[in-house]
Amino acid sequence: MVAAAETKDMGGAKGGGGGSGVVLASYGRGVLVQAQDVTLHCELKGRKQRIVCGDRVTWAYPPSADGPSIESIAPRRNLVERIDARGRAEPVAANIDRLAMVVAPQPTPDWFLVDRYWAGAAMKDLGAVLIVNKRDLGTDSIQPELATYRNLRLACVEVSASSPAGIADLRHPLAVGVTLIVGQSGVGKSSLVNALIPDAAAQTAELTRDAEGRHTTTTARWYQFGADAALIDAPGVRDFAPPASLVRAAERGFLEIHELSVNCRFKDCRHMEEPGCAVRTAVLNRQMPARRYESYRRLFRLYEKLAS
């Protein structure tokens, strides 16, 4: 168990005390819990207990243990998962309100990834916002893609983590609720958290890498953002998707495909090779960007593979 220096400050809580809190981070056999005004390292009781960032938990000091442990997890409003290297769903964070998808001129954006994030958010009824970071490097090269998203009514905010002035534009869309920040490595997710929450930097040193210097699988980290909001920095999140049984749900994440599909000849059209598909017709007629359709096809095939 992690040395529980903070628990010494618990005063009367030690020996029979307990309470509730939110999970700031989950790592291996322990979790970091924010309980009112103290941060606690808690042990997990059962091997099966799987707790993620954003979980609401109760904790207590069992009589024989030397530190607090998790007693229960409150039912989750939702759970965001990613798919690990073996194709299995792996929980990342719970009780999320929106997904903030970060791109930047550098590294070169992976728009397929953005489409998958957005589709994943739509399938879970999460809000979504596209943050373009590093605008100081110039965003001309990515404006055509941004136009595609703006046409689809996705909120896009262009900022620079290195410029406090522009960062103000980002406060409003993230001011209420829990935002999970996702995106390619190096786009500046952690930098944005630090820019928005000046004292967050003090909290970033711990728990981000395991002993071998790799990202651990459970590094999502919660930062309180004012009284009514939180930001979750999720360094390891690359892919996530609902369980494979939701193959046909792929369409739900693509607003334009969903709207076009009412005109497909077959009610259960998958928009792949079916005759009379209104989606493919729209792509051929350039009424829908071919790249977005390709994203849909890739996501669909991924679900199909996972389901098999």
Ligand X SMILES: Nc1nc2c(ncn2[C@@H]2O[C@H](COP(=O)(O)OP(=O)(O)OP(=O)(O)O)[C@@H](O)[C@H]2O)c(=O)[nH]1
Binding site for ligand X (CB under 6 A): 133-134, 136-137, 160-162, 183, 185-191, 235
Which residue, 95 or 295, has its beta carbon nearer to Zn ion?
295
Which residue, 9 or 266, has its beta carbon nearer to Zn ion?
266
Closest among 30, 101, 90 to 66, alpha carbons compared: 30
Q: Least distance in Å: CB of 219 to ligand X?
A: 9
Among ligand X, Mg ion, Zn ion, none, partner that 137 touches (CB below 5 to 8 angstroms by kind): ligand X
End-to-end CA distance of the chain: 39
Distance CA 184, CA 31 (A): 25
Q: Which amino acid is at 162?
A: S
Q: Least distance in Å: CB of 115 to ligand X?
A: 19
Residue 81 contacts residue 241 (beta carbons within 8 Å): yes
Distance CA 295, CA 220 (A): 26
Residues of this chain that bind Mg ion (CB under 5 A): 189-190, 235
Beta strands in 29-122 (DSSP E): 30-35, 38-43, 56-60, 69-73, 79-83, 89-94, 98-103
Which residue, 178 or 279, has its beta carbon nearer to Mg ion?
178
Q: Least distance in Å: CB of 206 to Zn ion?
A: 49
Among Zn ion, Mg ion, ligand X, none, partner that 269 touches (CB below 5 to 8 angstroms by kind): Zn ion
Residue 43 contacts residue 30 (beta carbons within 8 Å): yes
Among Mg ion, ligand X, Zn ion, none, partner that 116 touches (CB below 5 to 8 angstroms by kind): none
Residues of this chain that bind Zn ion (CB under 5 A): 264, 269, 271, 277, 279
Among Zn ion, ligand X, Mg ion, none, partner that 191 touches (CB below 5 to 8 angstroms by kind): ligand X
How far, rounded to the nearest angstrom, does the alpha carbon of residue 100 sit from its chain's CA centroid?
A: 7
Which residue, 7 or 194, has its beta carbon nearer to ligand X?
194
Distance CA 51, CA 116 (A): 24
Among Mg ion, ligand X, Zn ion, none, partner that 257 touches (CB below 5 to 8 angstroms by kind): none
